[in-house]
Amino acid sequence: MLGTISRTGIALVLAAPLVTAGAGVPAAAQALDQDVARLTGTVLDTQGEPVAGAMVTVRCDCLGASEISVFTDAAGRYRTPELGPGIGAAGITITSRKVGYESGEQSPSAPSAGADGAAEVDFTLTPLDNVADQVPGSAWISLMPDTNARRRMVYKCSDCHETPGDRVKAFASRLEGLPVDQREDAWRGAIEFMRAALFTMATGSFAPTDEEVHRLRWDIDPAAEEFQVYLLPENSRHNQDDEDIIAPFLAEHMPTDFSTYSVADYREAYNEGGTLGANGNTYFKLYEMPSVSLVREVSTVDGSRNVWGVDTLKNRLLKLDPDTGDQEWYDTPTRPAGPHSIWPDTDGNLWVTLEESGELAIFDPRTETWGERYLLGAGGSGIVHDICQDDLHNVAFDAEGRIWMTFTGLNQLGSLDPETGEVELYTMPLAEVAAMQTLLYGCVMTSDGNVWFSQIGGVVGEFNTETLSVETILPFAEGAGPRRLAAGENDVLYIPLFGEGQLVVYDTIAGEELGRHDLPDTVAAPYSATWDPEREAVWVSSNSSDRIFRFDVATSEFTQYPLPRGPALLRMILLDYQTGDLWLPYSTFPVDDNPSVLVMMHPGD
């Protein structure tokens, strides 16, 4: 179990639990006292003007979800979807909030259901100048100088948690009043701490009797010499160069007082009024997972309403019925397995990468049983990560029937022949750099059968699966951080730049970059891209802004969708091709800060 690290007498308590406050605290809350089928109403400000884009959240056992959230339209009106039969109003709580407004007032004071079972519940929200308790982590980063050091900090410090999240704010606040050299030394200590923290997913405060939760990943012995080697800067995710750039930057520019943030600064940074995609028809359904869990990625299969997810923390597979909220769990066939990613194939199977055991396993949702398991040769230290997918998010097979995957721990691309179980590994460029600094990550297959891969610390490249060689290299600046890319129509790639806050559009057939587009929030830490063929759009997830982004291919414009709860670290966005809805799994490390939730978003278009 990780403890505290001290430098110059400053204790780092990043592993200590904090009480989360701020963005999750509702602006206004009301309780109903009778049965209703749906809710409608108006949200106004204190001058009687409509508040467009306000979020109204109904917390109840609504169609199996823990919460349903909707947005107000231009007239300030909202309308929830049907809450389901037999919803007892006594158990319903309604909240309304929008950044820049404080508590509202109930109107009417005793809401009553109309003839159609709809209850009218209105809110009055008071404008607020100080929104420090409402803004996401990226809002604080936006106040820092836009330099390469800031990009490097976003790229290296937003992988696992929102930056700055509550823990980081609490730590930074303890540095108030110290000379800048002492603050720098403290931040160097924090980076040293994070080199070890990467090997665990929960702190000692979380489920303290659960050994499975608190062990180091890959069952590493913390007293072993091997572990100490992993912690050396040259072998770590955070190398010495990172420390020498990031620590001075944080010492100089990370706030130590998080009590004040003007609403004017927020609106300038986010331009919600001009780019808000959510509308009166948009709604979210939020499903809470067990407190001891980390459901980081999800999938669906054709012909079924169920949503499947991998619980990396507890070594199991989730089946969620979105209509009832029922959850069933299936243990992985080996432990520790570290189920990481999950993809469907066109036959209705689910393929799951087992990061810790170094395996790839198939699960049949129809029989609800595990099938074939493939040992991938590299073992757990290879960190099998992503399976290459096609433009519809299915497992992609090349002309020889092989599937391809990334081995993050080795900077290698691997192939698997499912018929024979034969595995081949191919080292990608930048092999002279430690694999954990290169981080071979996402991959897709284009229609010619070639694999396009991303290295967070390096390049985007094309690997020819016939000649078994790298054919194309797209270089990116240090700190740009190309991450989980998507392949769209006509083999066009969409590449999120984690550190730059941009989306790159690249035509693989023409061999040219078509555009490089700033997100509305350039420090959002965009993690992944998902192609949406029906809408001809790309959905982009983020780690530090509590919102997702939609990129319209025809107009090259972004819209944004604030999420119903923060902090919202999203490693992927799943498009359900049967419904057009999106599934958003929250997956923050350490999990004791923010237990998993799974959010379904109906875009409302």
What pLDDT, in 10s, does the model give residues 379-398?
556 788 899 999 999 999 99
- Nearest Cα to 604, choosing from 184, 31, 72, 178? 72
Least-confidence region, from 46-55, 271-280, 311-320, 474-483? 271-280
What is the band of 408 on the pLDDT scale with cuts at 50, 70, 90? confident
Task: Specify the DSSP element, H or E, that contains 268.
Answer: helix 263-270
Contact indicator for 605, 535 with CB cutoff of 8 Å: yes
Least-confidence region, from 238-252, 255-269, 332-346, 582-596? 582-596
Contact indicator for 468, 426 with CB cutoff of 8 Å: yes
Q: Residue 89 has what pLDDT? A: 63
CA torsion through residues 218, 224, 226, 230, sign:
positive
Q: Residue 160 has what pLDDT? A: 82
Mean pLDDT value across residues 281-298 = 91
Least-confidence region, from 33-42, 174-183, 298-307? 33-42
Q: Residue 557 has what pLDDT? A: 95
What pLDDT, in 10s, does the model give residues 109-139?
334 555 566 788 899 999 999 999 999 999 9
**Who has greater pLDDT, 409 or 201?**
409
What is the band of 7 on the pLDDT scale with cuts at 50, 70, 90? very low
**Who has greater pLDDT, 306 or 410?**
306
pTM here is 0.91
Q: Which two tokens stand for residue 514?
A: 């078509």
The CA distances from residue 318 to 508, 509, 585, in Å, are 36, 39, 12
Q: Residue 90 has what pLDDT? A: 65
Per-residue pLDDT at 20 exceeds 50: no
> How many beta carbons lie within 10 A of that of residue 177, not counting itself?
8
DSSP for 70-139 reads: EE--TTSEEEPPP--TT--GGG-EEEEE-TTEEEEEEESSS--B-TTSEEE-EEEEEE-SB-TTT--HHH
What pLDDT, in 10s, does the model give residues 546-556?
999 999 999 99
Q: How far apart are alpha carbons 206 and 194 in whole angstroms? A: 18
Q: What are the strands of the beta sheet with 339-344, ordered from one edge?
A: 339-344, 350-354, 359-364, 369-375
Q: Residue 16 has what pLDDT? A: 31
Least-confidence region, from 211-225, 388-402, 404-418? 211-225
* List of residues 6+ apart from 511 with CB closer than 8 A: 472
Least-confidence region, from 103-107, 344-348, 600-604? 103-107
Q: Residue 261 has what pLDDT? A: 97
Contact indicator for 560, 495 with CB cutoff of 8 Å: no
Q: What domains can be seen in the chain, in order of their start residue?
A: 5-20+134-261 (no CATH), 28-127 (2.60.40.10), 289-586 (2.130.10.10)
